[in-house]
Amino acid sequence: MAATDSPARRILARLRTRPTARAGAGGVLVLIILALLAPLLANEKPLVLRWQGKTYYPAFRDFLSMPAHPDLLAAGFRDLPTFKAGLDAARGDSLLLPPIPWSPVTLDLAGRYALPFEGSHPLGADDVGRDVAARLLHGARVSLAIGLIAAGLAFLIGFVAGSAAGYLGGWADIGLSRLMEIVDSIPKLLLLLVLVAALERPTLYHTMAIIGVTSWTGIARILRGEVLKLRGRDFVAAARGLGSGGPGILLRHILPNALGPVVVALSFAVASAILAESMLSFLGFGDPNFPSWGEIIEQGRNHMRSWHLVVFPGVAVFATVTAFNLLGDALRDAIDPRLAPPA
Amino acid sequence: MPVPAPILQLTDVKTHFPIAEGFLIKRHTGTVKAVDGVNLTLARGEVLGLVGESGCGKSTLARTILQLVPTTSGTIILEGKNLTAGSTAEVLDARRHLQMVFQDPYASLNPRMTVFATLAEPMAVHKICPASEIPARVAELMTTVGLAPRFMQKYPHEFSGGQRQRIAIARALALQPRVIIADEPVSALDVSIQAQILNLLASLVKKMGLSLIFIAHDLSVVKHISDRIAVMYLGKIVELGNAVDVIERPLHPYTRALISAIPTPNPDVERARQRIVLAGDPPSPVNPPSGCAFHPRCAYAQERCKLSVPPLLATANAREIACVRLGEI
C-alpha cells in the first residue's frame, strides 16, 4: 500500500527536480566535504611516507585526530623541511604530499605577502607567510561549525519560544514577546564584544553559544505569527471537534504548516552566524587557535596591495552564505505539497 | 403525531463575547451577544434548516453546540449528556457524536495532510478500531461519500471544491456521529456542485440515521433538504416550523422578507412580483435595538414592539413565532 510512502522521501524527490535546490544543496555539500577533508588537502605532513622500508600516513593521522606516529616523532619529523631532510632517496625513501603542502599555521617567512602562484602558495600567503589556501580550507571547518551549531541553538530556542507564544497566547505571549524585544534591543555586536572581552580565554564554543542565544528572536517572531494565524483556521477547529488534544493539534496541524517561513529564517540564521563569526575574527576577537575567514580579511586590511587576503575569504563567505540561502529557499518550497510537481 | 425524543436539546443558550480595550489593563467596554437565548430541539433522523442573514449568529451557534466556543449560559444536551458541563471524559466522549462540516472546504482541510491522514486521525485519536483496520475503514468512508479510494494518498489541493467538501463530510462521518452540523456547506461551491453535495447529505441522513442541522443564508437551498426550518435574527430564533409551512405561509415579517428574496426562475413572474426589500443593515449585536430587535426594519412595527422582547410562542401546527402582532398582520 502507498501509505508507507514517507513525507521525507517525497520532500527529497521534490528537491531533486529544482535547479536552485541542486545548486544550494550541492554547494553546501561541497563545502562540508572540503571542510572535513581539510587535513588531507592542505597539510605539510605527507599523505604517504616511505621511510626505512616502512610506510606511514602522517596526514591521515591528522585527519583522524590521532597523534603523530611514535617512530616519526622519535626521528624528529615535525614539519616539511625536517621530513625532506630525513629522507634518503638511495634507501628507497619517498613521500607523497597533499595538493597544498602547507598547514594553516606554518610560517613561510620567505613567502610573506606572496601573491597567488608566487612560490608554492596557490592563493598567496599572509603577513607572516601562512598559506591562504590552507587557512581557507581549515577555516571552512570553523565557519560551518559556527554556522550550523549557532543557528541550531537559535532555532531550538526560537522554536520553543515562538510556538509557546503563538499557541498559548495571553500572558505567555506578552512575556515572551517582550523578552524578544529586549533581546533585539541589545546591539548584538556590542554584546558579543563585551562577552568575548570579559572571558579570559574565549573559545569557539563561547562564540557559538553567544551567537546562538542572541539570534533566536527572528525565528521565534516568525513562528509566533504563523502559529497565531493558523490557530484560528477551520481545520484546527475541525481537529478540536474531532477530539485532538493541544499537543496533537500543535504538532500535526499547526507546526507543519508554519515550517516553511521558519526554514527560510533558519538558513538566514546560518548565514548570519557565519558573518558574525567573521566579524568577530575581523575585529581580532576570534579564537587564536583556529584559522578563520574573518581573520584573514583582517590581515588584508593592513596591506592594501595584498588583494588576495580580502578577495578569497570574501568570496568564500559569500559563496557559503548564498549556498545556505538557496538551500533554505528550496527546502521551503519542497516541504509544501501544493508546490509539488504532478506525480 | 407523536413527538419523538429529541437527540439534541438546547435550552436558553447564550454565547456572549466581551469587548475589551486597553493595553495590559483591559477595560470591559461592551458585549457582543452573538447567540442570545436560543431554545431548540432536534429529533432523531431530523433535518433542521437554520437560516438568517450574515452576522445573525448562525455560525456562532454551530460552534457553540460543538463547544468550540464556550457557552455563556444555558445547556446543550446530547443524548442525555450535558455538553457544557466541563471537560470530563464522559463529556469529551459525548462530543464525538456531534460533528461539523465547515463552510469553506479550502480552509477546513489541513493542506499538509493527505486524505488518508485526515480521515485516519480521528479514528486513531479515539481508538475506535485496531490500527490495522484503519486503511479499510478509510476506503469505506471515501466510497460512502462518492470518492474513489485510490485517491487516498492525494493532498487536498489536488481536489476540486466539491470533492474537498466530500472529504470534509467523510471526516465528519469518521467517528460515526449521531448529529452533524453543516455550516453553509454549499455556499462556497459552484451552483452545479451544490446539488450534488445536498443530495449526498440527504442520502447520508437516510442511510445512516443521522440528524442534521443545516445552516444557510439562502432559503431556496434549505427548503429542499429540511424537515423543519428555524429562522434566526440577531442571536435569537424568530420563527420555527415545518419546512413547507414556513416557506409557503411565513408568519414573521422577517421570514416574509427572506422568502420574498428567493428569485423566481420565470422572468415574467419575477418582474411582476412584489418584493419586500428590507431597509438598512442588521443592527449591531453589541447594541441591539430595544424590544423586538427587528422593529427598526419592520414594516408592521408599532410603539409596543420597542417596549419588550417578544417571546417565542408556540402556535398551531407545531410552529413557534416571536412576534407580538401575530394574527394581526
- The average confidence (pLDDT) of chain B is 85
Q: Do B96 and A242 touch (CB under 8 A)?
A: yes
Q: Name which of A3, A235, A257 is nearest B108 (Cβ-Cβ).
A: A235
Compute the count of residue pairs across chains A and B with CB atoms less than 8 Å apart. 76
Q: Name which of B68, B103, B126 is nearest A240 (Cβ-Cβ).
A: B68
Task: Report whether A123 contacts A136 (CB < 8 A).
Answer: yes
Query: Quick one: average pLDDT of A177-185?
Result: 93
Nearest Cα residue to B215 out of B51, B44, B10? B51
Nearest CA in chain B to A240: B68
Query: Quick one: average pLDDT of B76-86?
Result: 82
ipTM above 0.85, yes or no: no
Cβ-based contacts of A338 with chain B (< 8 Å): 111, 155, 157
Q: Name which of A3, A237, A243 is nearest B153 (Cβ-Cβ).
A: A3
Query: Quick one: average pLDDT of B14-35?
Result: 79
Top mean-pLDDT range of A72-86, A216-230, B31-45: A216-230
Integer Cα distance of A113 and A296 in angstroms: 12
Strand, coil or helix: what is B40? Answer: strand
Strand, coil or helix: what is A333? Answer: helix
Integer Cα distance of B201 and B236 in angstroms: 26
* Neighbouring-strand partners of residue B181: B100, B213
CB-based contact, B173 to chain A, within 8 Å: no
What does residue B35 show for φ and ψ, rounded to 5 degrees? -125, 125
Edge-first strand order for the sheet with B98-101 is B98-101, B179-183, B211-216, B47-51, B228-233, B236-242, B319-321, B313-315
CB-based contact, B174 to chain A, within 8 Å: yes
Cβ-based contacts of B135 with chain A (< 8 Å): 1, 3
The residue whose grid cell reads 490557530 is A231
The residue whose grid cell reads 454551530 is B62
Nearest CA in chain A to B107: A234
Taking only the tens place, the pLDDT of each residue in B162-182 is 999 999 999 999 988 999 999
Q: Do A257 and B95 touch (CB under 8 A)?
A: no
Q: Do A240 and B171 touch (CB under 8 A)?
A: no
CA of B275 vs chain A CAs: smallest distance (Å):
36
Query: Quick one: average pLDDT of B223-240?
Result: 89
Q: Do A235 and B92 touch (CB under 8 A)?
A: no
- What was the pLDDT predicted at B23? 66
Element (DSSP H or E) covering residue A15:
helix A7-16
Q: Best of B23, B65, B112, B113 to disrupt the A interface by mutation (most A CBs within 10 Å)?
A: B112
Q: Do B111 and A257 touch (CB under 8 A)?
A: yes
CB-based contact, B126 to chain A, within 8 Å: yes
Taking only the tens place, the pLDDT of each residue in A122-169 is 888 888 888 889 999 999 988 888 889 999 999 999 999 999 999 998
Q: Best of B88, B108, B110 to disrupt the A interface by mutation (most A CBs within 10 Å)?
A: B110
CA of A231 vs chain B CAs: smallest distance (Å):
12
Q: Name which of A174, A244, A340 is nearest B121 (Cβ-Cβ).
A: A244
CA of A80 vs chain B CAs: smallest distance (Å):
58
Q: Per-residue confidence at A2, pLDDT binned at 50, 70, 90?
A: very low
Q: Where are the alpha helices (DSSP H) in chain B?
A: 58-65, 89-95, 115-126, 134-144, 161-173, 191-208, 219-225, 243-248, 253-260, 267-272
> A27 is written with which cell numbers?
554547494
Integer Cα distance of B71 and A171 in angstroms: 23
Cβ-based contacts of B107 with chain A (< 8 Å): 233-235
For residue A206, pLDDT over 70 is answered with yes
HSE, side-chain direction, 13 A CA sphere, residue B208: 24
Please report the DSSP string for B151-174 in residue order. Answer: GTT--GGGS-HHHHHHHHHHHHHT
CB-based contact, B155 to chain A, within 8 Å: yes
- What was the pLDDT predicted at B245? 86
Query: Quick one: average pLDDT of A229-238?
Result: 90
CA of A28 vs chain B CAs: smallest distance (Å):
27
Task: Report whether A189 contacts A248 (CB < 8 A).
Answer: no
